[in-house]
Structure 1
Amino acid sequence: MPVSPDLAEDLATAVSSLYEQAELALIEKVTRALAEGLDSPLWAELKLAALGNLRAAVDEVLAALQADASGAIGQAVADAYERGQQAAVVELGALATGTAAAAAEALPTAAAVDRLASALVGETEATHSRILRSTLDVYRRVIAEATSAPLLGATTRRQTAQRALARFAVRGITGFVDNSGRAWNLTSYVEMATRSALGRAAVQAHTDRLGAAGIELVIVSDAPEECPRCKPWEGKILRRDGASGAGTVEVEHATEDERMVSVRVAGSLPEARSKGLMHPNCRHNVSIYLPGLTKPAGPKKARSRATYEQSQKQRYLERQVRAWKRKAAAGMDDAARRSANAKVRAYQGRIRELTAATGLPRKSHREQLTRSR
């Protein structure tokens, strides 16, 4: 069967939910710590004196996160790699040729899985120092803003503290930048990094298995809601590995010995992936190309679903639902929580309207927060 990054998409949830739990736990800890004794004239002094207690609580959350995430990442990468291999086995077995026997041969996987898992563990653990620093900075900032505001006669300490906490909750822990320079908050960054790594594991396992069976060419599917980075590669034939660049190659017919056929290749799979194909959320897949047998894709069918831009709007609305749920968790009183929950319902209503108008499936799990432990 063909392979694509979404073959392992669900596995990323086990990792990203751990970071979401940690983020929500930290929001709740900061909120409770600041709300206690808020009306006392010595509130600022008491809160600053308790900074060490908050740091110890954050360290405890991070220690548990590190232990849980390392195991979850190792399991997720192993599962993703296995799914990629099995997809290749199914695809090769359906050929009913000698390649099916090659597909059944065991390939060493431990080294590849360990390498991929170690890289992802390193990338996620690099966020932990930022988590600690960001949480303590927010705590200090709220104290400073809430202490100075009444002196200016602008508002009350409670209102100022609530606004500062709400900004923190909506944004989450921020400051994470990917290789393209795009900024992320903690949970979104970990989800993106994990889904990307697991997608790579599944695709690599698939191509490793095809290589062992002597398959050198693959073909990219057509897909709905394609993005501008992927569109140039739709329906194109690629080298499984090797040199970049387009050209015509002479290869042996898939079933007729000594018969050569000309095949126009658009480049290599690594080249296409480096230019954006098979990114997280990519809907394309790659499958075996059999010279002389595989038929090129026909004219693109009329769209039955939404555009890429509409699918991205849905993702934006889902993020807003989650952000306002975090704001509700940071509410210091019932009024603040009710206001945030009203925003949640409003954004959910916009999602219902969008999915009804476009035919996009509603993915309610992407609107949920994983509760802190």
Structure 2
Amino acid sequence: MPVSPALAEDLAAAIAMLYADAELALIAILRDALAEGIDSPRWAELKLRSLGDLREAVETVTAALQDDANGAVAAALTTAYGRGRQAAVAELGALDIGRELQARRLLPGAAAVDRLAASYARDTRPLYQRITRAVLDTFRGVNARAAGTQLLTGITRRAAAQRALDEFAARGVSGFVDRSGRSWELAAYAEMAVRSVTARAAIDGHIDAMAEVGQGLVIVSDAPLECPLCAPWEGEVLALTGPPGPRTVRTEHAVQPTGLRGLLAPPRTVAVHIAGSLPEARAAGLFHPNCRHSLSLYLPGVTTRPPQHATPGTTYEDTQRQRAIERHIRRWKRAEAAALDNAARARARAKVRTWQAAAREHVAAHDHIIRQPAREQIGRAH
């Protein structure tokens, strides 16, 4: 069977939920720290004294998150790699090489899994360093403005604290910048990192199994609503190894004729256009997080180009609009969790319902877009 990032989506979703739950816990810690004694004239003084307690509470959540996430990722990578390998066994099952591969019963490649786990740990290390600073900076900022707020602006301390909490909830624990310079919030960055590394494990398991039995060519599926990064590789043949760049080679036909007495006739060959190498395509963006494409074995002279998926009335930009709506829903759910009183909670809930209605309208207007409720959630605690 073909291999794709979808093989590991459930694993990534479970780990991403750890970060979403942690973000909710951090919002609650900050909300409760600001709310305690908020009507007392000594509120600012009390807040300064409680800074150490707040730091300890945040660091406790952060340490638990790091331990849980790293352990869950290590297990998920082993599972994803094994799924990719089993996909190769299933795909090659009708061939002698498939039976050979299945007979080996090899354990998932420890070296490959360890390498991916180390990559994930390196990419997410800045998350944990940023969390405590983000929460404490918000807390200090509210405290610094509290003393003169009502006198200078007419805004009550409670209203000022709620405004700061709303801003914090809107952006999440932000400040994580990836290699391309894009800024991410905590849960979104973690989800991207987890989806990327588990998808890579599944694909690596598949191609490693293919390479073990001497198969070196794969073909990319044609997926609906493809993004500009993936479009150049759709339906193309890729080499698992070798130099980058397109080329045409002659190779043996996957099905060889036999002579009158069952002897092999002279080898039959076929020209194969190779668009490039798989590492080249992946480096260019193929199999990015949320990618819909898959890889399957390419048998020269047998495998045909995949059919195109027409999506009339729906574009890639429409899918990105859906992602934006989901971000708005999550933003206002965080604001609801950060509310200091029922009035603020009701305002945030109304915004959630407005954007949920926008999601329903968007899906109804596009036949090829499906609503994904899980992407609108911010954690099991909500």
User: TM-score if structure 2 supplies the norm length?
Assistant: 0.93
**Cα shift at 1:124:** 2.4
**Cα shift at 1:372:** 4.7
| Equivalent residue, structure 2, for 1:306 | 314
Partner amino acid for 2:29? K
CA-atom RMSD, angstroms? 1.6
Aligned partner of residue 302 in structure 1, secondary structure? coil
Is 1:100 equivalent to 2:102 in the alignment? Answer: no
Instruction: Identify which range, 9-18 or 324-333, moves more after superposition.
Output: 9-18
| Equivalent residue, structure 1, for 2:19 | 19
Aligned residues: 371
**Cα shift at 1:159:** 0.9
| Equivalent residue, structure 2, for 1:82 | 82
| Equivalent residue, structure 2, for 1:354 | 362
Structure 1 Cα separation of the partners of residues 13 and 30 of structure 2: 25
Q: 5+ residue gaps in structure 2?
A: 257-263
Sequence identity (%): 54
- For the 8 Å contact 2:162–2:340, the answer to whether it is kept is yes
| Equivalent residue, structure 2, for 1:178 | 178
**Cα shift at 1:301:** 4.6
CA-to-aligned-CA distance 1:96-141 (integer Å, 9 cap, x gap): 3334323432345122212212321333233111101111101101
Structure 2 Cα separation of the partners of residues 111 and 274 of structure 1: 21
**Cα shift at 1:311:** 1.0
| Equivalent residue, structure 1, for 2:342 | 334
| Equivalent residue, structure 1, for 2:285 | 276
**Cα shift at 1:154:** 3.4
Q: Which of structure 1's runs of 4+ aligned residues deviate more than 4 A?
A: none
**Cα shift at 1:186:** 0.4
Is 1:323 equivalent to 2:322 in the alignment? Answer: no
Partner amino acid for 1:154? G
**Cα shift at 1:42:** 1.0
- For the 8 Å contact 1:248–1:264, the answer to whether it is kept is yes
- For the 8 Å contact 2:8–2:195, the answer to whether it is kept is yes
User: TM-score if structure 1 supplies the norm length?
Assistant: 0.96
**Structure 1 residues 113-262: aligned runs within 5 Å:** 113-256=113-256, 258-262=267-271
- For the 8 Å contact 1:88–1:103, the answer to whether it is kept is no
Structure 2 Cα separation of the partners of residues 99 and 86 of structure 1: 10
Partner amino acid for 2:234? E
Structure 1 Cα separation of the partners of residues 306 and 364 of structure 2: 30
Partner amino acid for 1:302? A
| Equivalent residue, structure 2, for 1:42 | 42
Q: 5+ residue gaps in structure 1?
A: none
| Equivalent residue, structure 2, for 1:71 | 71
Structure 2 Cα separation of the partners of residues 198 and 102 of structure 1: 23
Structure 2 Cα separation of the partners of residues 308 and 138 of structure 1: 37
